[in-house]
Amino acid sequence: MLTGLSIRDVVLIETLDLEFGPGLGVLTGETGAGKSILLDSLGLALGARADSGLVRAGQAQAVVSVSFDVGRDHPAHILLGDGGISVEPGEPITIRRILKADGGSRALVNDQAVSVALLRELGGMLVEIHGQHDDRGLLNARGHRTLLDIYGGIDTSAAEAAYRGWRAAEEKLTAARADLDHAERDREYLEHAVAELRALAPQPGEEEELAGLRANMQKGARLAEDIAAAAALLEGSEGGLAQLRQAARRLDRIASEHDKLAEALAAIDRAVIEASEAEDRLSEAAEAMAYDPARLEEAEARLFDLRAMARKHRVDCDALPALAEEMAAKLGAIHAGGEGLAALERQVAEHRAAFDAAAAELTRLRTQAAARLDMAVAAELQPLKLDAAKFRTVIEPLAEGQWSAKGKDRVEFEIATNPGAPFAPLAKIASGGELSRFILALKVALAERGGVATMIFDEIDRGVGGAVASAIGERLHRLAQGAQVLVVTHSPQVAARGGQHYFIEKSHDGTVTRTGVQALDAARRREEIARMLSGAEVTDEARAQASRLLEAA
């Protein structure tokens, strides 16, 4: 709901602050008082094109601010959240548009900068403005299908799920076909590569193992003489280890004779143990680095083959086993590709059939809802002096390329204004107040199913009076029971229906012309309706008639 409008330096408005409440609010005033300025200001705040001509003469900029109270589940919160704009729960949405005299403009929502595109989308969620030149709302055929679904209480979730399943299956099939086509082109290469890799049979860690073996054998060839010489000094009956053992046996017989002898024996025993260990390590080193020319040649050849294969496929040697499995899997997929595609094609057909059924059900439900809507609108036309007109909801099949999760139907509202005249879209054959009355009839018919919480009608009563004006007022009042409705009117019958009445007037101080707006109390409201009835001179009879209109409302 629109709760406030603040305007600074827009055309003839210097300073203006208005508060709005629920229900029906009416704006009246003499012709040329500046009602269009209010609507232009509101449109600017809701994303309309920035026209520097709106800036009041002599001022650097114009500023328009509007505030709305919306529920926590209002789609505006999702839109703002997606745009990075945070609004605290319970906090009003405040829009501010700043228009500079040089044509530049800025838009802010709750003091956070936003694009005009986002502002325009947000405005469409918050307010519907129905005027003579409005090309949005009910005049935009793109929204007619959604309006019909809302009116008919039609649940599209089954069609949406079926559509997503169908499209997902088609994407899988398309990807599988592309993979298979690519793989078919590489069949010969894959067969050769898999045969090579299987013949080589690489193992994880094999390169490191072969490189270590080769390095050890190369070291062994270089160190073999020194290792053998060191081993010879320790081994044999004349070696160092044998000499230590002989010394230990001699000392063992006399060690009890003196402490130092015992210590010497212990030291020699330790030396024997360390020397024995050294002898073992030398033996192990000799074995590990044993130089075998044939074995070295074999290891080097295997290492060369592994590295050559890795370079060929641009991977590490350790990745060759996994590469072999991957290529074998691709080759297997080629062989089984026909069967796999057939299975995916069956899935696509099944999902397509489910969508066809769900879409057909939507078409059936929409056809039923359209018949009810046509009757409901027809019932509203005669009281609005549109009894010669006919309304119909057209449901036509879309081309397959235009199908969506919402089904296969194109929906558009059409009218024929005179007997025998062809049906055509609303905006093409209706104009002025007639168009606004068509929109009112539609809005009243659709009102039970809800919609945008704030609606504004601009001179919906143009060119009519008497009973038709009363009918318009009655329907606006009815519409305002479930939404906030603001109407710019010249009709006293419509003005009398308002719960809030705002008077727009132009004033002069000799040099400057200004437009102002004031909320009227009961007495001033009766006087304004009397003016609307009688013209420039308000008579007692007009005041009495105004009182009767207010009492009847």
**Per-residue pLDDT tens for 306-317?**
889 989 989 999
Q: What count of Cα atoms within 13 Å lies in the side-chain half-sphere of residue 290?
A: 7
Q: What sign has the CA pseudo-torsion 158, 160, 162, 165?
A: negative
Average pLDDT over residues 28-33: 79
Task: State the pLDDT at residue 288.
Answer: 63
The pLDDT of 445-452, averaged and rounded, is: 69
Q: Report the percentage of the chain scoring pLDDT > 70.
A: 89
Confidence of residue 161 (pLDDT cuts 50, 70, 90): very high
Res. 135 pLDDT band, cuts 50 70 90: very low
484: burial class by Cβ within 10 Å (0-12, 13-18, 19+)?
buried
pLDDT tens profile 374-393: 999 998 888 888 888 899 99
Mean pLDDT of the chain: 84
Neighbours of 123 (CB within 10 A): 22
Asked if 141 and 425 count as a contact pair (C-beta separation under 8 A), the reply is: yes
Higher-confidence residue: 202 or 463? 202
φ, ψ for residue 233, nearest 5 deg? -70, -25
The CA distance from 166 to 173, in Å, is 11
Mean pLDDT of 54-78: 90
pLDDT at 156: 94
**Residue 4, strand partner residues:** 19, 67
pLDDT tens per residue, range 504-515: 988 887 777 788
Q: Which residue has the higher pLDDT, 482 or 358?
A: 358
Alpha helices in 235-319 (DSSP H): 240-254, 259-288, 293-313
Confidence at 230, pLDDT banded by 50, 70, 90: low
For 8-27, what is the mean pLDDT?
A: 92
Tell me the pLDDT band of 142, cut-offs 50, 70 and 90.
confident
Residues 6+ apart with CB under 8 A from 181: none
Higher pLDDT, 359 or 175: 359
The domains of the chain are located at: 188-332
- What value does the mean pLDDT take over residues 265-284? 77
Average pLDDT in the 111-131 region? 87
Per the CB < 8 A criterion, the answer to whether 367 and 395 are in contact is yes
Question: Any bridge partners for residue 105, and if so which?
Answer: 99
The count of other CB atoms within 10 Å of the CB of residue 157 is 9
**Helix (H/G/I), strand (E/B), else coil: 17:** strand
What separation in angstroms does the CA of 131 have from each of 22, 54, 135, 273, 401? 21, 19, 9, 109, 34
The answer to which of 127-141, 250-264, 394-408 has the lowest mean pLDDT is 127-141
Residue 524 has pLDDT above 90, yes or no: yes
Higher pLDDT among residues 295 and 83, named by residue: 83
Burial of 383 (0-12, 13-18, 19+ CB in 10 A): middle
Report how far residue 470's alpha carbon sits from residue 486's, in angstroms, rounded to the nearest whole number: 16
Q: Which two tokens stand for residue 222?
A: 């270089």
User: Residue 408: which H helix or E strand, with range?
Assistant: none
Name the strand (E) or helix (H) holding 396.
Answer: strand 390-397
Return the DSSP state at 178. H
Which candidate, 209, 275, 215, places its Cα nearest to that of 240? 275
321-337: average pLDDT: 81
Helices 157-185 and 187-200: crossing angle in degrees, nearest 10, is 70
* Segment (H or E) for 393: strand 390-397
SS3 per-residue string spanning 320-339: HHHHHHHHHHHHHHHHHHHH
Contact of 457 with 476, CB cutoff 8 Å: yes
Q: Rounded mean pLDDT of 511-523?
A: 87
Q: Is the pLDDT of residue 341 over 80?
A: yes
Predicted pLDDT at 229: 56
Answer yes or no: is pLDDT of 158 > 90: yes
Q: What is the 3-state secondary structure (H, E, C) of 213-227?
A: HHHHHHHHHHHHHHH
Task: Find out whether 348 and 169 touch, Cβ atoms under 8 Å.
Answer: yes
Give the pLDDT confidence score for residue 396 in this predicted structure.
Answer: 96
> From residue 147, how far is each of 306, 335, 539 by CA, in Å?
69, 52, 46
User: Does the structure show a pLDDT above 60 at 44?
Assistant: yes
Q: Give the tens place of pLDDT for each residue, 167-226.
A: 999 999 998 888 777 777 777 788 888 898 999 899 888 888 888 777 777 676 665 556
| 91/267 Cα distance (integer angstroms) | 91
